[in-house]
Amino acid sequence: MAPKATSSVRDLQEDKPSFGSRFLTDEADVWSQNAWDHVPPPDDQAEAIAISLAKQRSAPVPDEDKQKYNATPARHWDNFYKANASNFFKDRKWLHLEFPELVQAAQSSAGPKTIVEIGCGAGNSVFPLLAENTNPELTIHAYDYSSHAVKLVQTNSLYLSPPCGTMHSAVWDLSSASLPDGLEPGAADIVVLVFVLSALHPDEWPQAVSNIYKILKPGGHVFLRDYGRYDLTQLRFKTGRLLDDNFYIRGDKTRVYFFDQDHNAPPGCPAHPLFAISQLGVDRRLIVNRKRQLKMYRVWMQGKFRKL
């Protein structure tokens, strides 16, 4: 597991902070609450980025170690879940506000619906949905390439006796050449990707995108939330962590990529678009540590895509 310092950044990063936060109109108010919405980067951001990146680039991960880190990424996530059990990530309750289609699929009258989450971890996105589900025809598939994460899901009491609907979880690698056993192509109405694409090597993206495309029904949706470019956690990486541009190895040996909105299709991705963009945006928040008088500029990407 990551050293404590890494964890304290991580436990903020993947969660959408509490609801009801406000817009910061007067800088003098900044210390009056813990989080502010849509705060633009500070004036010295360009300088801070340049300093951080120059430091990181001055001592990237040596080539011989890169290969080692990229060889068995699932093992590092296994170690992460062994160390943290299901206590690390908070339940993603915000997901239902951001993607109301998930809630609609869980309504009693929604009819047959299939939701597939990939990179489900301990199930912090799917269990809140299953807990609220009143649709007997809802099926949730939750995949992760960490067998330990899947074990955490499979031993959750909601998994063992869902109040309504059906849930299934299995080990599967999103970057593998075949679909999960028992999942028919075109089965899913919705694919959920919460902080998982960032854990893949950029070379794995074309296969991942192709798998997601195959899993979805025509017109099916992808809901995505992931790390944004120049997020605080990217700028905090020290020397010896840079694997490739915007791609890092954490202290616990898990990998993380920071996306931006204008991301070009990587080489190997099809020339014709597979998805229409229904929504794509950068979510910026200023998180404030009032006690330590710290300002933390967080950046996430969020998108909805529709299979063409």
Ligand X SMILES: C[S@@+](CC[C@H](N)C(=O)[O-])C[C@H]1O[C@@H](n2cnc3c(N)ncnc32)[C@H](O)[C@@H]1O
Q: Which residues are at the interface with ligand X (CB under 6 A)?
A: 14, 77, 89, 92, 118-121, 124-125, 144-146, 149, 173-175, 194-196, 199-200
Least distance in Å: CB of 27 to ligand X? 33
Cα 246 to Cα 57, 60, 233, 302: the distances in Å are 10, 11, 11, 18
Least distance in Å: CB of 229 to ligand X? 17
Least distance in Å: CB of 215 to ligand X? 13
Least distance in Å: CB of 31 to ligand X? 30
SS3 call for 104: helix
Least distance in Å: CB of 100 to ligand X? 18
- In the block, tokens 């300093």 appear at 51
Comparing CB distances to ligand X, the nearer of 144 and 231 is: 144
Comparing CB distances to ligand X, the nearer of 24 and 140 is: 140
Pairing mode, if any, of strands 113-118 and 294-307?
unpaired
φ and ψ at residue 249, rounded to 5 degrees: -110, 130
CA distance 280 to 78: 31
Comparing CB distances to ligand X, the nearer of 138 and 174 is: 174
Comparing CB distances to ligand X, the nearer of 55 and 236 is: 236
Least distance in Å: CB of 77 to ligand X? 3
Comparing CB distances to ligand X, the nearer of 77 and 275 is: 77
Least distance in Å: CB of 95 to ligand X? 9
Comparing CB distances to ligand X, the nearer of 36 and 145 is: 145
CA 138 to chain centroid = 23
Comparing CB distances to ligand X, the nearer of 189 and 226 is: 226
SS3 call for 192: strand
CA distance 305 to 308: 9
SS3 call for 255: strand
